[in-house]
């Protein structure tokens, strides 16, 4: 609503960018922090449902906002939907609370969970956190390289103008991508509750790298390219269910919201790096191939790190053989 009154670019950055960014982070991280407490036996699936709602929610407002922009001013649109979002958020928050003792069930059988709670100060001293931060940064950066430049490289590949099943290829691909990007979050969260976090990360991240390679190889086939773009997004969005559940499993539920807030900064780094870096690489090389090569390499490397570095580190953490596990839990 403040941004509707702004007349300068700096003011727009401060209101729509800074304030809305802070508000979005508070809502998302806050709700994830509650879900990991309420459903310890379905932690991956529960955070995946939150992340899916975070993505699918845009579908509810995209067309109404577009219609209002076409018939009214952007100031009216910002004011109206700002008031709607604020009211919905306030009313929804009235129904949120932490679980009481005995209200939640046990943890999933295939998932190791810490019996102690660690605060940010302890967490930030462990290599486990920084490894997860690096992994999430790489996955976020690679995914946002694809998202931010998708329209550009689709046009450069000559795919965007094709008509597929009566729809233009680019908007059709974007629609499919939004759906698969939402579905992957509860799906892989559910899988991780049953086969373990790191195993699921390894499968999903390496799958993402292979899907991008397949999409790149099919760039001369519009139908295959559009369908594989959906597969690519299906292999990326699960970071929003796997990382918060893994972090809470490792450092406990008491400080889950604050702890995830620190890890979620990796998404911010990916947002800053993803689009500009992809554009710079393309401008310097004159090709999208180096961009895709970097993304594929980061995806596969992150999957291997999950299986062969994060998994043994967390195993030693839970067994008490890792030095960081000897630190005192948070009070």
Residue 175 lies in a domain: yes
83-88 average pLDDT score: 94
The least confident of 26-30, 31-35, 54-58 is: 54-58
pLDDT digits (tens, 9 = 90+) for 243-276: 999 999 999 999 999 999 999 999 989 988 888 8
Residue 331 lies in a domain: no
Report the distance separating Cα 261 and Cα 322, nearest Å: 24
Residue 49 lies in a domain: yes
pLDDT value for 159: 84
Q: What is the 3-state secondary structure (H, E, C) of 14-69?
A: HHHHHHHHHHHHHHHHHHHHHHHHHCHHHHHHHHHHHHHHHHHHHHHHHHHHHHHH
CA distances from 291 to 198, 208, 284, 288 (A): 26, 15, 11, 5
| Coil/strand/helix, residue 163 | strand
pLDDT digits (tens, 9 = 90+) for 201-227: 999 999 999 999 999 998 888 888 889
Domain that holds residue 15: 3-326
State the total domains in the chain: 1
Residue 125 lies in a domain: yes
pLDDT value for 66: 84
Residue 329: which pLDDT band, with cuts at 50, 70 and 90? low
Whose CA is closest to 315, among 108, 135, 174, 111?
A: 111
Share of the chain above pLDDT 70, in %: 97
Report the distance separating Cα 2 and Cα 22, nearest Å: 14
Whose CA is closest to 40, among 253, 220, 222?
A: 253
Would the pLDDT of 326 be above 90?
A: no
Residue 96 lies in a domain: yes
CATH label of the domain that carries residue 283: 1.20.1250.20
Whose CA is closest to 269, among 298, 234, 301?
A: 298
190-211 average pLDDT score: 96
pLDDT digits (tens, 9 = 90+) for 98-136: 999 888 887 766 788 888 999 999 999 999 999 999 999
Whose CA is closest to 139, among 310, 284, 315?
A: 310
Q: How many CB atoms lie within 10 A of CB 51?
A: 27
Residue 270 lies in a domain: yes
Tokens coding 196 = 């373990």
Residue 308 lies in a domain: yes
Using a 10 angstrom Cβ sphere, with 0-12 exposed, 13-18 middle and 19 or more buried, the burial of residue 122 is buried
The rounded Cα 247 to chain-centroid distance in angstroms is 14
Q: What is the 3-state secondary structure (H, E, C) of 210-268?
A: HHHHHHHHCCCCHHHHHHHHHHHHHCCCCHHHHHHHHHHHHHCCCCHHHHHHHHCHHHH
List residues bridging with 163 in a β-sheet.
168
Residue 11 lies in a domain: yes
Report the distance separating Cα 30 and Cα 258, nearest Å: 9
- State the residue for tokens 């462990």: 126
Which segment, 107-121, 171-185, 289-303, is predicted with the most confidence on average?
289-303
Whose CA is closest to 246, among 133, 330, 120?
A: 133
């Amino acid at each position: 609503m403040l941004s509707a009154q702004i007349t300068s670019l700096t003011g727009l950055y401060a209101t729509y960018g800074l304030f809305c960014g802070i508000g979005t982070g508070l809502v998302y991280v806050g709700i994830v922090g509650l879900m990991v407490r309420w459903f310890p036996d379905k932690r991956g699936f529960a955070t995946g449902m939150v992340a899916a709602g975070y993505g699918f929610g845009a579908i509810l407002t995209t067309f109404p906002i577009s219609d209002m922009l076409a018939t009214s001013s952007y100031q009216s649109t910002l004011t109206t939907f700002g008031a709607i979002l604020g009211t919905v958020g306030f009313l929804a928050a009235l129904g949120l609370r932490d679980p009481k003792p005995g209200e939640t069930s046990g943890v999933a059988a295939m998932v190791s969970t810490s019996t102690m709670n660690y605060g940010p100060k302890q967490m930030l001293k462990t290599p486990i956190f920084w490894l997860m931060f690096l992994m999430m940064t790489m996955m976020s950066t690679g995914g946002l390289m694809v998202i931010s430049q998708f329209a550009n490289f689709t046009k450069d590949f000559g795919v965007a103008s094709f008509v597929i099943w009566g729809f233009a290829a680019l908007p059709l691909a974007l629609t499919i991508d939004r759906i698969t990007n939402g579905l992957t979050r509860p799906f892989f969260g559910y899988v991780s509750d049953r086969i373990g976090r790191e195993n699921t990360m390894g499968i999903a991240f390496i799958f993402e790298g292979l899907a991008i390679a397949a999409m790149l190889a099919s760039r001369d086939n519009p139908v295959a390219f559009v369908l594989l773009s959906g597969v690519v997004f299906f292999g990326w969005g699960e970071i929003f269910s796997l990382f918060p559940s893994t972090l809470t499993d490792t450092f406990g539920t008491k400080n889950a919201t604050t702890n995830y807030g620190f890890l979620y900064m990796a998404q911010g780094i990916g947002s800053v790096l993803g689009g500009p870096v992809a554009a710079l690489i393309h401008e310097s090389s004159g090709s999208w191939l180096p961009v895709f090569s970097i993304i594929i390499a980061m995806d596969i490397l992150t999957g291997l790190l999950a299986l062969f570095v994060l998994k043994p580190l967390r195993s030693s953490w839970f067994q008490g053989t890792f030095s960081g596990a000897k630190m005192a839990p948070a009070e």
